[in-house]
Amino acid sequence: MARPDDKALLRDMLARYRAEMGEPADYPWLDSYWAEAGRMPFLLREGRAVAGFALVNRWSCLGLPLDHAIAEFYVLPQHRRAGLGRWAARWLFAALPGQWELAALPAALAFWRATVPPGATETPQPRTLVLRFLTDGGVRGDPIPPAGVQGAEPPGRG
């Protein structure tokens, strides 16, 4: 997981991520990821380089029971399309088994459909499609980073 001294770096990436989506930079929940149980901040790394982040919590946008939810997931542009995002998401799903939920934006829907385990339920919402699925700690696909992400580390390390 990201350490408290990583907060400024994460805040900067979060502002960049929100700008890409046309959202205001402010994210009032960031500090709670170091203060509240059930909230976990992760830095995604490719070797020693920070390549993105994942924010995992226990809030269901559908109001249904769950163990984990992807609140935010971002890969820096220079690290995209090499398989790091898919690998990191699957690593999280394997490391944190249970009932998962994520709200996929239209631009990311193909990525998430190819990444989550088979059999995910899909629930349309006004701006997103909510995917719900179970993981058992196993990894779907290759747990080894793809060739394009040589030297990658699991998101929870570093």
State the average pLDDT for the chain: 89
What confidence score (pLDDT) does residue 21 get?
87
Specify the CATH number for the domain of residue 95. Answer: 3.40.630.30
pTM recorded for the entire structure: 0.87
Residue 155 pLDDT > 70, yes or no? no
Is residue 117 assigned to a domain? Answer: yes
Q: Is residue 123 part of a domain?
A: yes
With a cut of 80, say whether residue 62 has pLDDT above it: yes
158 within domain boundaries? no
Number of domains within the chain? 1
Measured CA to CA in angstroms, residue 133 lies from 17, 95, 123, 127, 149 at distances of 25, 15, 12, 20, 26
DSSP type of residue 61: T
Residues 6 or more apart whose Cβ sits within 8 Å of residue 36: none
Quote the domain boundaries for residue 77. Answer: 4-153
Q: Is residue 41 part of a domain?
A: yes
